[in-house]
Structure 1
Amino acid sequence: MERVFDGHNDLLLRLWRGRANGGDPVAEFVDGTREGHIDGPRAKAGGLAGGLCAIYIPSDGDFSLKEPDAEGHYSTPLEEPLERQPSLDIALGMASIALRLDRAGAWRLCRSTGEIRKAMDDGIFAAVMHMEGCEAIDEDLDALETFHAAGLRSLGPVWSRNNIFGHGVPFAYPASPDAGPGLTDAGFELVKACNRLGILVDLAHITEKGFWDVAKTSDQPLVASHSNVHALTPVARNLTDKQFDAIKESAGLVGLNYAVTMLRDDARDDADTPISAMVRHVDYMVERMGIDCVALGSDFDGATIPAEIADAGGNQKLVAALKAAGYADQDLAKICRENWLRVLASAWHE
């Protein structure tokens, strides 16, 4: 079984919501559940050995894509910006769940690639605390220092909404990622602080202008943790060839997003999407950037994924499909975990 280190999931959001309804996050992860995509038993069954676990602040109400028109096109307006104090409360709640899971031995919260490898070797889920959208962070970056001390080692300045640090892309098809302004002055300072502290800067969800703002500011490899190929599926969230070229030049990576809306030709939210669509996006990225710049970023617990995969337990079906498509064992090791570990080591000054 090929061990997988995955670049993005929303498990902490699901556990946080469950706790609000009286659930026990530790028991849900350890014992397993029928909810969502990830828990301990399903992760072990599918070889999901660890990943970047997102602190994500949900917008008011339940987010959903705008219904497509007769031609299958849609453009979902950006969610409204969030207030910082309620966002901070939610972020602290999710961070506390991550710490509780670590304290209980349910998973291991990792702050170095050595810790990730040790956890995987020990058969314990290697979790890295990530922040998807920095609504909980103040402009003075005091909260950034605090979250870093708690274990934060990766962040995306924005989700698909705007905040004090930058601008996000909408969920729209067909649409360009060049959908608005980039980083704000505070956003440039955030990137510099992440470089100093050793926090990975994630370019998923940011506008194309924001992508180039980070590229000219950061000393890290360029990373889009869960994005796909715009030339194949022209949604605003996917990356252009020019962006792929910059990621290759920086020795960064792109994590394949399992979200069907970012895999299908028609960008529809339809779980009846074959694994071959995932392989097609991997093939394109490997051809454009090389095998060292492609990884996995499932978006488990955050998106509709192909029914054949179903949940974390189905990861090896993708591995098998890639092997059948001609990827050698050393290639699969890179895609499944080694490329992530290389990039994290660089961003973390190891």
Structure 2
Amino acid sequence: MGEDTVGYRVVDGHNDVLLRVYEELLEGSEDEPAIPGGDVGSFLEGRDGHVDLPRALDGGLAAGFFAAFVSNDLDPDSLDLSAVDFDAGDVPPPVDPAVAARATRAQLALLSRWAAADDRFRIVDSIADFDACLAGDCVGAIPHVEGAGGIAADLSNLDVLVDAGLRSVGLVWSRPNAFARGVPFVHGSTPDHGPGLTDAGRTLVRACNDRGLIVDCAHLNAAGVRDVLAETEHPPVVSHAGVHEICPSSRNLTDGQLRAIADRDGIVGLTFATRFLHPDGDDDRDLPLSTLLDHLDHAVDVAGVEHVGLGSDFDGATVLSSVEDVAGLPGLFDAIEARGYSRRECVLLAHGNWRRVLAATWGD
């Protein structure tokens, strides 16, 4: 770690470690794991993949959005994903709501188990918690749901999830649900796929505003993003995405979207997923780190440095080998500084911008 980067505390807008540990606990079991009182999995001691507590501490991770995500693979009645032609623009069907609700609760319960088992890990419920993570030698988890499949269409279980710690809601993954349409994974395409929010989706955005929940537009189509910007009272968030001008994937943000999010004082977390960084859409982990820095430069040029952060997609995608995992964050900031970013700008990118958005949504 370079001398000037000592002291950076990093906030990451998205990881999928909850799903990976949940899948690990399911292996060899016919039933869902009894997580509230059972095995806590491998996160605290070390595991394969991109994120665990020892490496997060080594990498200076102050806090991250830990996503509960319900893969179609968790739904025994869902279409086999091997039958989905993602490259052709096909998307999986929605997950059964009952399956999604159970899996979401179980994944969020893992966070409570980890926090109870190790005082170096804590759940972030407020700005005071967030600031304690920035100041201390611990890792904070902001409980998040990606895809909102576990939220009932009538929102009847939303408060149950909030009581379980939920602080952030991603409206869609790249499949439809009761609230909105996700974009397909298509290279050489814009995010303009399908209609905007449903009536239930608009109601969910308002309900999130009322409860101080982050509204995350990652994976949302263009019409849906416009609807969120029109509906929400709080700064909009795109937790993990790349720049469409460099990598023209439907998953990435156009310059118009970057400006619109900045105009509302929101934030975009830049992904480390190579498929959404590579100009040709290749899933190449040996893609040069300079390509990620090109995305950073472009996002900063268009949206301003105050509206950009990190959103790795650790444990959810192929990430750059030059970063490798969460322990690689200090080296990334060495490279960002070498690009000419000042100490003040790096602090904003590392955590300052995320703090502003969280404070505006949660209250100081």
State the TM-score bracket (shorter-chain normalisation): over 0.9
- Summarize the alignment of residues 22-171 of structure 1 with structure 2, pairs less than 5 Å apart: 26=40, 28-33=42-47, 35-60=48-73, 61=80, 66=85, 74-105=87-118, 107-171=121-185
Secondary structure in 2 aligned to 1:242?
A: helix
Separation in structure 2 between the aligned mates of residue 252 and residue 314 of structure 1, nearest angstrom: 26
Separation in structure 1 between the aligned mates of residue 239 and residue 40 of structure 2, nearest angstrom: 26
In structure 2, do the counterparts of structure 1 residues 112 and 311 end up closer, same or farther at CA, with 3 Å as the change threshold? same
- Cα displacement (A) at 1:222: 1.6
- Cα displacement (A) at 1:306: 0.6
Look up the match of 1:9: 15
Look up the match of 1:274: 288
Look up the match of 1:203: 217
Matched AA of 2:115? D
Match of 1:329 among 332, 338, 343: 343
Match of 1:251 among 265, 290, 308: 265
Separation in structure 1 between the aligned mates of residue 283 and residue 84 of structure 2, nearest angstrom: 9
Separation in structure 2 between the aligned mates of residue 26 and residue 49 of structure 1, nearest angstrom: 21
Matched AA of 2:303? M
Kindly indicate whether the alpha-carbon contact (under 8 Å) linking 1:18 and 1:25 is maintained by their aligned counterparts in 2.
Answer: no
Separation in structure 1 between the aligned mates of residue 63 and residue 25 of structure 2, nearest angstrom: 22
- Cα displacement (A) at 1:117: 1.6
Kindly indicate whether the alpha-carbon contact (under 8 Å) linking 1:25 and 1:97 is maintained by their aligned counterparts in 2.
Answer: no
CA displacement, residues 154-199 of structure 1 (integer Å, 9 cap, x when unaligned): 1111110000001000001111100111110000000000000000
Kindly indicate whether the alpha-carbon contact (under 8 Å) linking 1:65 and 1:171 is maintained by their aligned counterparts in 2.
Answer: no
Kindly indicate whether the alpha-carbon contact (under 8 Å) linking 1:16 and 1:25 is maintained by their aligned counterparts in 2.
Answer: no
Separation in structure 2 between the aligned mates of residue 100 and residue 318 of structure 1, nearest angstrom: 31
TM-score by length of 1: 0.94
Separation in structure 2 between the aligned mates of residue 46 and residue 95 of structure 1, nearest angstrom: 23
- Cα displacement (A) at 1:240: 0.8
Look up the match of 1:19: 25
Unaligned runs of 5+ in 2: 1-5, 74-79
In structure 2, do the counterparts of structure 1 residues 25 and 279 end up closer, same or farther at CA, with 3 Å as the change threshold? farther
- Cα displacement (A) at 1:142: 1.9
Separation in structure 2 between the aligned mates of residue 8 and residue 331 of structure 1, nearest angstrom: 21
Separation in structure 1 between the aligned mates of residue 89 and residue 257 of structure 2, nearest angstrom: 23
Q: Which moved more, 1:136-145 or 1:56-65?
A: 56-65
Q: Which moved more, 1:190-199 or 1:94-103?
A: 94-103
Look up the match of 1:70: none
In structure 2, do the counterparts of structure 1 residues 25 and 336 end up closer, same or farther at CA, with 3 Å as the change threshold? farther
Secondary structure in 1 aligned to 2:220?
A: coil
Q: Which moved more, 1:54-63 or 1:165-174?
A: 54-63
Secondary structure in 1 aligned to 2:44?
A: helix
Percent sequence identity over aligned pairs: 39
Separation in structure 1 between the aligned mates of residue 277 and residue 357 of structure 2, nearest angstrom: 24
Look up the match of 1:71: none
- Cα displacement (A) at 1:121: 2.4
Matched AA of 1:84? P
The reply to whether residue 187 of structure 1 matches residue 201 of structure 2 is: yes
Matched AA of 2:288? P
Secondary structure in 2 aligned to 1:81?
A: coil
- Cα displacement (A) at 1:139: 2.0
Matched AA of 1:120? L
Separation in structure 2 between the aligned mates of residue 97 and residue 174 of structure 1, nearest angstrom: 38
Q: Which moved more, 1:13-22 or 1:203-212?
A: 13-22
Kindly indicate whether the alpha-carbon contact (under 8 Å) linking 2:143 and 2:168 is maintained by their aligned counterparts in 1.
Answer: yes
Unaligned runs of 5+ in 1: 68-73
CA displacement, residues 252-283 of structure 1 (integer Å, 9 cap, x when unaligned): 11001000011111111111111101110010
The two structures, once aligned, show a CA RMSD in angstroms of 1.7
- Cα displacement (A) at 1:349: 3.0
In structure 2, do the counterparts of structure 1 residues 147 and 5 end up closer, same or farther at CA, with 3 Å as the change threshold? same
Match of 1:224 among 238, 256, 269: 238
Kindly indicate whether the alpha-carbon contact (under 8 Å) linking 2:273 and 2:319 is maintained by their aligned counterparts in 1.
Answer: yes
The reply to whether residue 340 of structure 1 matches residue 354 of structure 2 is: yes
Look up the match of 2:228: 214
Matched AA of 2:301? E
Separation in structure 2 between the aligned mates of residue 253 and residue 344 of structure 1, nearest angstrom: 10
In structure 2, do the counterparts of structure 1 residues 64 and 297 end up closer, same or farther at CA, with 3 Å as the change threshold? farther
Kindly indicate whether the alpha-carbon contact (under 8 Å) linking 2:84 and 2:92 is maintained by their aligned counterparts in 1.
Answer: no
Secondary structure in 1 aligned to 2:248?
A: coil
Separation in structure 1 between the aligned mates of residue 39 and residue 145 of structure 2, nearest angstrom: 19
